[in-house]
Structure 1
Amino acid sequence: MRAARRQVTILARDPVLLALVLFIMAAVGLFVVYPLIQVLVASFQVRGDWTTANYELLSTRRLYRAALSNSLQVAALVGVVGTTLGFVIAFTLTRTNVPFKRALHLLTLLPIISPPFVGAISILFLFGFNGLVTKQLLGLQDFNIYGRWGVIASQIFTFAPLAYLSLRGVLQSINPTLEDAAFNIGATKWQAFWKVTFPLALPGIFSAFLVVFIESISDFGNPLVLAGAAFPMLAPQAYLEITGSFNLGRGAMLATILLLPSLTAFAIQRYWVSKRQYVTVTGKPTSSTSKIVSPFAKWSLFSVTAAFGVLVIAFYAVIILGAFTRVWGFDYSLTLQHMRYVFSVGLGSVTDTLMIAVVSTPISGVLGMLIAFLVVRRTFPGKAALEFGSILMYAVPGTVVGIGYILAFNQRPLILTGTFAILVLAFVFRYVPVGIQNGIAVLKQIDPHIEEASQNLGADGVTTFRKVTLPLIAPAFFSGLVYAFVRAMTAISAAIFLVSANWNLMTVQILNQVGSGRLGVAAAFSILTIVIVTIAIAIIGFLVERTSKTKTTIRF
């Protein structure tokens, strides 16, 4: 108690900083915690009365049980296969001397900057009822890609790159001299890998699995496009309950059920896996060696990596072709009609998306750095709660966020439904956790005496942060900007609940076009989204080099 009073007394000496802490705490409480509480409350209400009737439907309605079972099974399988594929690609590109490393690295990352269901659209182009492979090449008439395996294939394509990105850093941090030491005492290549490399990478592998699991179970776009009525899943089912049946209680119940495995996986990753990291180096590791891999194993790994790269090329090639093809499956003559539609009828959603992304991105970036600064550099009562609450949205499925926001801000005193503000706020607090984590990681590497010197010269906390801390953490700041902008441009699961006649998004347009069978227009929107995101990443990378004290580029 005395320690808390002392912390408050110290914080009160800087009234601006105190006001900032209180403001951020209030914002996190209002825009993160409150919507989740509203979802939980709504799940226990029917026509305003408290009841468990919605949850009792899990035992009586086979549809809901099937949706839960299917979601868990798909997430587990996608987690295992996606993490395995990510590890193989990461190992190949970091621990072997294969050709085309840079090209394969960029190809592997391409799905990350794309709308989340581009893979599903490509699968329809290739393997749908009028697919290039199924109908045109093989002549199949009754091939059905919809259902379990279509969803699994599209999610593996979409989320395996996330595992790769995580595991690439893990494998690069393992000092190859440890493997050399194993060889020196007589270990075979397989023994060196299985007894040295794999155990050191295991915490990272498990963390990557949990990330893919969370992304899969909370995925909305791919199941909505490919699952079909015969294969229900939780996220689309919650959406259909609200938009189709207008039953907020049941939708909130399904959202709550969806939230439980995501939060469990998040808690395991944050509080168990993160404490089981192994330190293998005290400085920067030397270049990776390929001694651990035999020639046969090297080319086998390269074949898998190259095959995924070819798959990425094929998927995006059909997206480009589909955007300029008159009617896919029937008339392959080239046309610009889909692009003309995007820049005429669909231009409003393009400008809306850009405006929302441009406004929400800097707010998310600055807020992330401020929270990271408070967590690392300041001590005050409630700091742990602030940190947990601010990164909680990372584990919350977008479907839950969208339902929570329409429940929380569709009534007085704060009516935001259908406005520009609700979309900006949803994106800011949905994607700020990555910026916070980047900021925390960098701040822990900066000597706090630099900031203390500024304060000793008379600067207050805010001035110190603006003129000293922020320039030093510029790379992390702009990395957070990249993530926030990419996600704002490609978000769908939360946004689909929050768009209105006044404010629409490109990803929602893509989904609507797929639903109406206009795959060419959907492909045109997808291409434009990828082009905008790529240009934005290049601009932000340029700004990093100009503003950072050391030459730094945004790398994924």
Structure 2
Amino acid sequence: MNVTPVTLAKHVPLRRWSVVRKLSARSVAFGLTLITVSYLVLVPLLMLLYASIKSTEEKLPFESTVTTLSNYAAVFTSSSTLPIFLNTLFFTAGSLAIGLPLAILLAWLLERTAIPARAWIANLILVPMTIPSLLSAIAWIQLLDPRIGLVNIVLRSALGMTGDTGPFDIYSLYGMCFVQGLRLVPSAYLMIAASFRAMDPSLEEQSAMAGRGVAQTTLRVTLPIMRPALLAALIYFIVVVIESFDIPGLLGFTARIRVLSTAIYWATHSEVGLPDYGLASALGTIVLAAALLLMWNYQRLTAHQERFATITGKGYRPRQLSLGVWAVPATVLCVFYIFVAVFLPFVMLLWTSVQPFYAPLSAESLGRMSFESYYKIWQESSVVRALWNTMVLALVTSIATILLAVLVSWFVVRRRRQTDGLAHYLATVSFLPQCVPSIVIGLAFIFVYVRFPVPIYGTLWIIALAMTTRYLAFSSRTTTSALMQVHGELEEASQMAGAPWTRTLRRVTMPLLAPAIINVFLWVAVHAMQELSMALMLYNPDTVVVSTMIWSMWQNGRTADAAVLGVLLTGLSALLLVGGHVLSSGVIRTHSGPERDRRKRFGQNVSRCPRRSARAARRFVRSGKR
């Protein structure tokens, strides 16, 4: 068939315009993603640095025209600075000394040994993640208060001790380390257990054949192989403890024990006088620098873990060790941890919520049990507003974080070759919030939105933006890992069939990422509902959320009401996680059944016959619509 010049003139420009339009959509999306991530992450941090070198006597940082290092001089010359740094160091070291060894031991027992009821114990270990840190601190206050704590009362009676205080005091650095250490265990267990699960047991078998016992094999073979994962976990949780605010804020308030995170808060919420934003900025910058250094080392360690890989293409068969007579003591140890870390705090929280005022367990207090607090709490308009704001905040933050994380992941994974430098920049900046403590992000957002003419300061949206920034690192890393498992030929074939890039992303890419997206949604929603430090820095009476309401109730002596709200918040978190697990299981079954086979056949057709790829892609996209 002869093609006339008129035909060429009519069709070629249209085809070129179509290609340009598709490239333009991707380029615009890439540019907007770069601008959004840079604005959310870098602008607040730059404003924090700017505020730290401005004189802030009776004025805000950006109202001053004087550039000075007096804020840093005040930090390092103040008599209170050294105790704050020492308290932070002790709190960090003590929390890690309790949490990490316990997590390593539990991970080893549940992943490398054949103790009874492993699945049940593993699930129960994760239950504390549904209880906010603030509520854990409240529960342990009721248990270990020097005078009225249940454990102290029982011990004084059992040991015949005189006096009405002791033997334990939760309002101390030791108490703070104990509670924070227990809070670290579930997250540290998840991080470490995966490495134990993946390790080749043949190395341990060879050690056993050489006559080494279980203890020697673990110390000389297992733990050295696990060294990169353990060091990475150590560095990561140092940052987590340094940024922790809930537990030191609640337990340290009574004893006037301040660490870096609480010092930043009290500098901006002074009990006497005006807020000292310059001092808070200088402290925040110091914390930020330390966290950046730690996370840089974390990145270096995780980047070279392949040198310690033990899963190969030969003879890998995961098995558990037999503990013999030690199986029963090991099981008892796991059950004891669950009793202390899960059962006791939650039962104490429930007990406090059904008492008109806190009282230890007795026949008299049993007679005062009532669910009246659960009815009265709904009569307060501020509580209803807090619950509504919390749900809106969790939903908005989750959706915004997912959309931004998917875009970041797509451009980092799919466009790395075309825009290598920009893709690397995007990956680095999107991970940066992992290094920034929540209270520092809250402080930085105050400076940005009080200074810039964006009318969101004092609204719920500024809290949502701050949380989106804070949770972007985890979300983008999760979706990036999932996207790396999806071959790009599915998206390429869809676009060859004429589907726009946005439709391909919506109809092909995101359905394949559905399990990861659901996990990110659940993680972000639960953390947004429990977040305290950022909300405390940015809320007002109209934007109060449940976590700040619990904090205020506790500060005002409304213990029972705080416990009631805590039970409701824990129930919402648990309900969300269970519902998400059911939904995620259904999605995984969908992707592992007929839908997976359909996508697999589509990919095979594309790879075997490129000329048929357009027709196959068109059928694939249409079937997805149906």
Common fold: TM-score over 0.5: yes
Listed as ranges, the matches of 1:410-489 within 5 Å are 410-489=450-529
Contact 1:12 1:18 in 2 (8 A): no
Deviates more, 1:158-167 or 1:279-288: 279-288
Residue equivalent to 2:278: 249
Partner of 2:604: none
Kept in 2: contact 1:410–1:416 (CA 8 A): no
- Matched position secondary structure for 1:326: coil
* Alignment of structure 1 residues 101-140 onto 2, 5 Å: 101-128=118-145, 129-135=147-153, 138=156
String of CA shifts for 1:129-154, please: whole Å, max 9, x gaps. 32112246526523342120121111
Alignment match of 2:332 (pick from 294, 299, 303)? 303
Question: What is the Cα deviation at residue 11 of structure 1?
Answer: 9.6
Cα shift readout 1:365-394 (whole Å, capped 9, x = no counterpart)? 222122111111113242111111112112
Which consecutive residues of structure 1, in runs of 5 or more, have no partner in the other structure?
A: 1-9
1:300 to partner: Cα distance: 4.2
**How far apart in 1 are the matches of 2:288 and 2:86?**
14
**Superposed, which structure 2 residues align to 1:144-543 within 5 Å?**
144-228=169-253, 229-244=255-270, 245-277=274-306, 278-282=308-312, 286-291=317-322, 293=323, 295-296=325-326, 298-311=327-340, 312-329=342-359, 332=365, 333-345=368-380, 346-379=383-416, 380=419, 381-543=421-583
In 1, the alpha carbon distance for the partners of 2:578 and 2:316 equals: 28
CA distance in 1, matches of 2:561, 2:529: 17
Structure 1 match to 2:72: 55
Query: Distance in 1 between the 2:324 and 2:83 partners?
Result: 45
In 2: Cα distance, 1:141 partner to 1:20 partner: 66
Going from structure 1 to structure 2, the CA distance change for 1:146 and 1:547 (only over 3 Å counts) comes to: same
Matched residues in 1 for 2:435 and 2:128: separation? 21
User: Which protein has the larger Cα radius of gyration, Structure 1 or Structure 2?
Assistant: 2
TM-score (norm 2): 0.82
Report if aligned partners of 1:434, 1:483 keep a CA contact under 8 Å in 2: no
Note the alpha carbon deviations across 1:201-241, whole angstroms, 9 max, x for none.
22111122222211111001101110135421111111111
Residues 261 and 295 of structure 1: CA distance in aligned 2, closer, same or farther (over 3 Å): farther
Which residue of 156, 160, 164 corresponds with 1:141? 164
The one-character-per-residue Cα deviations of 1:482-501 (angstroms, maximum 9, x if unpaired) are 11011111001111111112
| Higher RCO (C-alpha under 8 Å, 6+ residues apart) | 1
Residue 533 of structure 2 aligns to a residue in which SS? Answer: coil
1:119, distance to aligned residue in structure 2 (A): 2.0
Report the alpha carbon displacement of residue 186 of structure 1 after superposing the two structures with TM: 4.2
Tell me what 1:42 maps to. 51
- Which residue is 1:4 aligned to? none
Contact 1:94/1:172 (<8 A) preserved: yes
Partners of 1:435 and 1:479 within 8 A in 2: no
Q: Give the Cα separation in 2 of the matches to 1:56 and 1:206.
A: 34
RMSD across aligned positions (CA): 2.2
- Counterpart selection for 1:71 from 74, 88, 91: 88
Alpha-carbon distance, 1:164 to partner? 0.6
The structure-2 alpha-carbon separation of the partners of 1:286 and 1:526, relative to structure 1 and needing over 3 Å to count, comes to farther
2:51 is paired with a residue of what secondary structure? helix
The one-letter amino acid of 2:546's match is M
The SS at the match of 1:410 is helix
- Give the Cα separation in 1 of the matches to 2:72 and 2:51: 11
How many corresponding residue pairs?
541
Q: Which moved more, 1:183-192 or 1:217-226?
A: 183-192
Distance in structure 1 (CA, Å) of the matches to 2:398 and 2:72? 38
Q: Which moved more, 1:137-146 or 1:104-113?
A: 137-146
Asked whether the 8 Å contact 2:413–2:480 carries over to 1, the reply is yes
Task: Using the aligned pairs only, state the percent identity.
Answer: 23
**Matches of 1:496 and 1:207, distance apart in 2:** 30
The 1:474/1:11 distance shift into structure 2, 3 A limit, reads farther
CA distance in 2, matches of 1:205, 1:343: 46
1:89 aligns with 2:89: no
More helix by share: 2
Determine the C-alpha separation between the residues in 2 that align with 1:487 and 1:285. Answer: 37
**What does residue 11 of structure 2 align with?**
none
- Looking at structure 2, the residues matched to 355 and 257 of structure 1 have their Cα atoms a distance apart, in angstroms, of 33
